[in-house]
Amino acid sequence: MTPTGGPLLPGFYTLMPCRVADTRNAQGPFGGPPLSSATSRAFRMVGRCAIPPAATAISLNVTVTQPTARGHLTLHPEGAPVPLASTINFGAGQTRANNAIVLLGDGGAIEVICVMQAPDNTVHVIIDVTGYFR
């Protein structure tokens, strides 16, 4: 709703940077464990960090840290086909970050797909949201 009580307006809405997921934290829906190669994990964004149900996409910063091997992550709307392009690439031991705009999928969630050299490789993922679209 607008400050004057009018209708919801489409557009981009900035947010104070807010951490929505960090796999270095205790195990849970927005915490650990780290992602393993050839796995995916969904994170429900709506309802966290002031992201409203009317949001259709989010602006975010994704950071990887402590990877045990080189690899990449692909972020995309949960329930949608996986895009061909990765969101972030990394090497063993690197900490890297990248900005992205990701559409929200089923139930207001995004999916993170991890691809690394071997199934026993892992990487920690941190997702900070900076805004949303509606």
Instruction: Give the distance from CA 84 to its chain's centroid.
Output: 17
The angle subtended at Cα 48 by Cα 98 and Cα 14, nearest 5°, is 55
Residue 2 predicted with pLDDT over 50? no
**What digits encode the pLDDT tens for the residues 6-39?**
556 789 999 999 999 999 999 999 999 999 999 9
Residue 1 predicted with pLDDT over 70? no
The structural domains of the chain, with segments of one domain joined by +, span 31-133
Judged on CB neighbours under 10 Å (0-12, 13-18, 19+), 16 is exposed
Cβ–Cβ < 8 Å for 99, 58: no
Cβ–Cβ < 8 Å for 82, 121: no
Residue 79's CB is within 10 A of a number of other CB atoms, namely: 12
Query: By C-alpha distance, which of 121, 28, 110 is closest to 70?
Result: 121
**Topology adopted by domain 31-133:** Jelly Rolls (2.60.120)
Provide the token pair at 106. Answer: 């089923």
pTM exceeding 0.95? no
Residue 3 predicted with pLDDT over 50? no
**What digits encode the pLDDT tens for the residues 46-98?**
999 999 999 999 999 999 999 999 999 999 999 999 999 999 999 999 999 99
Residue 6 confidence (pLDDT)? 54
Residue 9 confidence (pLDDT)? 72
- Measure Cα distances from 80 to 7, 16, 101 in Å: 29, 28, 15
Which of the four pLDDT bands, split at 50, 70 and 90, describes residue 119?
confident
Residue 111 predicted with pLDDT over 70? yes
Residue 4 predicted with pLDDT over 70? no
